[in-house]
Structure 1
Amino acid sequence: MSEIVAAHLNLIEAQDPYLNSVVTLNHAAMDDAARLDAGTTPRGTLFGVPVVIKDNIDTAGIATASGSAALASHVPAADAHLVFRLRKAGAVILAKTALPDFAMSWHGNSSRSGVTRNPYDLSRDPGGSSSGTAAAVAAGLAMVGVGTDTGGSIRVPASFCGLVGIRPTVGMVSRHGVTALVREQDSPGPLARSVADAAILLEAMIGWDPDDPFTALAALPPHGRTAQDVLRPRALRGARIGVLRQLCATAPGDDPGVARVVEESLTSMREAGASLIDVEMPGLPDLLQQTFMYLRQSRRDVNHSLRRSGAPFTDIADIVATGQLRPADVLLRAVAKSPEDPHHDGAYGRGLELRTHLQHQIASLYAQHNLSALCYPSVRVPAPSLTDIDGGAFDTRAPHSRPMPTNTLLAAQAAFPAVTTPAGSTSDGLPVGMELLGLPHHDRNLIALATDLERITPARISPELTTGLGSTA
């Protein structure tokens, strides 16, 4: 195990200066590997597997700053529950990975660590907010990694970096020790280079935690099968896949190369025996806008996490007041100005009501068409250039800009599970991710479908990390 861990640490030292994906190394990683080599601990399912952890997940003795320069010296006293479970399974925590401040951006840029780059093209963005985890895993700096997903923060980086990203049913993985954003939507999950690796990592994190009551519902259904049991071919044969065409349609600024890859992937699914049914959700844009809860409850939820963790600040407004932010942190500033108690906002209750309506609309599609999953591209563009981002391409304050064309809000705001898996690449070699959305607690069904989709998709092309000095691969 020590040789494997040392090799990955050497890769981080050699290649991460170009990616800027790692924010803090675990200096005890080699000691942890040596204990595994000594054979004094049971061999868990992740025995010796080098893992990177997003820096909004508590790690005992290792700084956890949620991407914020203001929290750079904050060191938690205890591991998050999911980290405890990973260690128990034998994983070795290599490092903490970069994210935008408090996970409130689609892009990999933070006040603490600066710009994170995409290993497929260093001039491009890896996606947010699990930007460092995705870039590190895609480049091979770790075998697998853990991110968090509130609006798409696992699935957008997975799409941009050619990875499998799983947003589990909320409560499958405990959020205790994870900085909250929208409590009913927050869901930690795996990022990996294959569905099998992602499923094995997810299985190690799943479990009841009395410190997160949401885990109770996930623990109640009889498991029967593990995630590994459903890693089988032919799951698409006979499956009924609802293609949400309004999320596949291209709008001005979308990339036709992404649309081409999506159509090719749909054709392959049909050839593999799946029945594709075009479905529609009337009024979906308005419904997503009305169930966007960040400006209604994120201040309360983040502040609760700050108090729980013993951070030097207890209100995100005070962190914003330090001035240690980037000009593009528009959402973070807006959250800091939102009500401390969402119940003082009359729109909060209406948003909760409409969230239930959104859930019922999705479930109705399943019932009406006897669906196995909904399907659409995770993002309708490939990884954008850092130049475009800096120029305000997705900053709605700037002229001629538009919102990030992501489809990931649907599963997030419904609090449903979803899997993003590589579907192919654009003509210039940039990955495209296809998303499968499922019903709550049917995660293993999604993993089975993703396994078969991976089987019929052209093999993932690993990035050849190039710099101005040549290739580092």
Structure 2
Amino acid sequence: MRHLRLPAFPLPAAEIDLISGTIADLQVGYQEGRFSACDVAAACLARIARLEPYLNAFISVNMALMDDAAQIDAERQAGVRKGPLHGVPIVIKDNMNVAGIRTTAGYAGFASDDRVLDPSGAVFNGIDLIPERDASVVARLKQAGALIVGKSNLPDFGLDGLRADSSYNGDTLNPYDARFAPGASSTGSAAAVAAGFGIASLGTDTAGSILFPASAQSLVGLKPSFGMVPIDGVFPGLSSHHDVAGPIARTVADVAILMDVLAGPTPADPRTARRAGTPDFAAALNADALRGARIGLFEPGQWAPDLHPAIAEHYRLMTDVLSGLGAELIPVVFADTDWRARWESRTSFVATNSYLAGVDAYLSALGGSNPSSRSAFRERAGFEIGAGTTAPLHGLLSSAAINVGADDAGMIAVIEQARALRAQYETILRDKGIDALFFPRSVNPLPDIGGDTLAYLGDQVVGTEINEMGLPVVTVPAGFLEDGRPIAVDIVGPAIDTDAAILAFAYAFEQATRLRRAPVLPGERPTP
């Protein structure tokens, strides 16, 4: 637990806003010569050294960060500009491979400096998994000149929908209030951005793991369409058929800039092959995008039960914002169809999934001297992957009774059902001329950190459905409840690959409201 130990780093002389600054702010500072990449890296490290013992957002920090920053400065001196991410500090989730750096996925069994207790009572040392190649998303960040600050904390294998109770590294706290749940498995990635350890981060999402932590920490998070962003080199969630990787940032514009780097097909991930090209996400942003748009509203019983009174009142105020921006609000989208009945009759991914096959596929791609399968890991380590885990969902999802091969007939049937449901969803919205759905992120206020994981997952208005169908959704800060709990809204795409369109709507909403405020961390004053 809490393995990360850092020396104190002095703050650079240059003034750098890491708590509320954006990618654009950073690039302006570079262009005006107010600071260097080394200054930015030093500022990140100084904040991490001071605040990380409190927040516990990281599993590992890039100890070569200053050297990487010096390389960025040399490139800039030579006139090289790699685009808007050149010299931008980014945090990645520690289920994503970085060549030569251990991937723990939050699990003590994937760390040689930790140990696990297996069901027989025997104690074993963990085994380091050292990938030979970067995940495609990491490679794309590096090619764009981003500074990789470190790898964020997560629950074991990403299998907790409420917090990051990692068996290797413990809990990550919510920067807004330690009592509040930090939200699902990309918790460390969100906390690192909210606390100013980096400008943006990457998370992964299988059933709300980007959206919940972003909303819980007053950030923007995009769950992209399935196949929009490659996920090779990422430790699997529940299913290789709807897991995604995506950005978390403070603004919609920063999310769009990251998507311009991350999105697009690659031979390394066949799941991206259907796409011949990708949109220009940043260029599509438009503060007037909601004018004339037809926006579907929350319907009790279709996606989730009735809203908590505080959520319902807040949601009403947010829909008033949309009306003021010129949107046409559509109260009935699904209630006059058989959508819900068809959805409830499907075979769920928690009844049939390919999680264990995904673990084997991940291990086989690591290369080098790493164990190439679960059985090879067991033979070398002496215990099964998952022994000693703290993840509340691992036992359910790793059950041999529900796990099949990725190409098994049962798995193919589940995928085909999801495609048919998506086709119906898209037809309903197309026939009714709906441009997007606008929902509360959750039916209840953000719970405390000791809350119930399954109840919290069930609080989502959209989560499982959107992931199974592969649709995009963006969560946007929408202020705070009376007790200070962050609250957010979701904008859901009308079809797969409408990511750029919903980001444009999110940008219009954000620019009109500007409801996010930075957290007040120990020893700091509120941001004006």
Report the TM-score when normalising by structure 2.
Answer: 0.80
The one-letter amino acid of 2:170's match is G
SS at match of 1:217: coil
Instruction: Tell me what 1:170 maps to.
Output: 226
CA distance in 2, matches of 1:132, 1:33: 23
Q: 1:418 to 1:250 in 2, by over 3 A?
A: closer
Does the 8 A contact of 1:99 with 1:132 survive in 2? Answer: yes
1:431 aligned onto 2:486: yes
Output the CA distance in 2 between the equivalents of 1:75 and 1:23.
15
Please list the CA deviations of residues 317-350 of structure 1 after superposition, one character each: whole Å capped at 9, or x if unmatched.
9565663212xx3421122222553479875454
Shift of 1:257: 2.4
Cα deviation, residue 230, structure 1: 1.4
| Alignment partner, residue 91 of structure 1 | 146
Match of 1:71 in 2: 110
Corresponding residue for residue 124 of structure 2: none
Say which SS state the counterpart of residue 147 (structure 1) adopts. Answer: strand
**Residue in structure 1 matched with residue 165 of structure 2 by the alignment:** 109
TM-score (norm 1): 0.89
Q: Which residue of 2 aligns with 1:292?
A: 348
In structure 2, which of residues 179, 182, 185 is the aligned counterpart of residue 129 of structure 1?
A: 185
Residue 288 (structure 1) shift: 5.8
Q: 1:337 aligns with which of 383, 399, 402?
A: 399
Q: Report if aligned partners of 2:366, 2:372 keep a CA contact under 8 Å in 1.
A: no
1:99-139 Cα distance to aligned partner (Å, 9 max, x none):
11111111221111111111111122211111100111112
Deviation at 1:267, TM superposition (A): 1.0
**Residue 324 (structure 2) pairs with residue 271 (structure 1):** yes
Q: Aligned AA for 2:251?
A: S
Taking the TM superposition and a 5 Å limit, the aligned residue runs for 1:312-351 are 312=371, 314-315=373-374, 320=384, 323-326=387-390, 329-339=391-401, 341-342=404-405, 348-351=411-414
Report the CA distance between 1:374 and its aligned residue: 1.4
SS of alignment partner, residue 158 of structure 1: helix
341, 347, 370: which is aligned to 2:433? Answer: 370
Whether the 8 Å contact between 1:243 and 1:375 is mirrored in structure 2 is: yes
State yes or no: 1:304 paired with 2:343: no
Residue identity matched to 1:137: V
Which residue matches 2:12? none
Higher fraction of helix: 1
For the pair 1:158 / 2:214, whether they are aligned, the reply is: yes
* 2:74 counterpart residue number: 38
> Please, which moves more after superposition, 40-49 or 113-122?
40-49
Runs of 4+ more than 6 Å apart: 247-250, 343-346
Q: What is the match of residue 398 of structure 1?
A: none
Amino acid at match of 1:85: R
Which position in structure 1 is the counterpart of 2:197?
A: 141
CA separation in 1, counterparts of 2:465 and 2:517?
28
Matched, 1:7 2:71: no
Quickly say closer, same or farther: Cα 1:109–1:290, change in 2 above 3 A: farther
Deviation of 1:289 after TM superposition, in Å, equals 7.8
Distance of aligned partners of 1:247 and 1:454 in 2 relative to their CA distance in 1, 3 Å threshold = farther
The C-alpha deviation readout for 1:373-395, integer Å capped at 9, x for no partner, is: 112122223332123x2xxx345
- How far apart, in 2, do the equivalents of 1:180 and 1:86 lie? 20
- 2:389 partner amino acid: L
Which of 49, 60, 81 is equivalent to 2:88?
A: 49
Alignment gaps of 5+ in structure 1:
396-400
Distance 2:222 2:170 in 1: 26
1:118, 1:126 within 8 Å by CA — same for their partners in 2?
yes
The 1:288/1:164 distance shift into structure 2, 3 A limit, reads farther
- The Cα of 1:187 is off from its aligned counterpart by 1.2
Q: Which of 461, 467, 471 matches 2:517?
A: 461
Mark the CA change 1:60 to 1:229 in structure 2 (over 3 Å): closer, same or farther.
Answer: same
Seen in structure 2, the aligned counterparts of structure 1 residues 286 and 370 have a Cα distance that, compared at 3 Å, is closer
Which residue does the alignment assign to 1:18? 54
What secondary structure is seen at the aligned counterpart in 2 of 1:79?
Answer: coil
Contact (CA 8 Å) 2:182, 2:449: kept in 1 or not?
A: no
Aligned partner of residue 386 in structure 1, secondary structure:
coil
Partner Cα distance (2:252, 2:175) in 1: 20
2:250 is aligned with what amino acid? Answer: R
Matched-pair contact (CA < 8 Å) for 2:85–2:146: yes
- 2:101 is matched with which residue? 62
Task: Indicate the structure (1 or 2) with the bigger Cα radius of gyration.
Answer: 2
- How many residues end up aligned between the 2 structures? 455
Aligned mate of 2:155, from 55, 76, 100: 100
**Partner residue, 1:262:** 315
What is the distance in 2 between the residues matched to 1:150 and 1:285?
A: 23
2:404 and 2:410 in contact (8 A); partners too: no
Please state whether the residue corresponding to 1:2 is helix, strand or coil.
helix
Is residue 2:245 matched to residue 1:245? no
In 2, Cα distance between equivalents of 1:13 and 1:247: 47
Aligned to 1:233: 287
Mean CA deviation greater in 57-66 or 376-385: 376-385
Between stretches 167-176 and 256-265, larger displacement belongs to 256-265
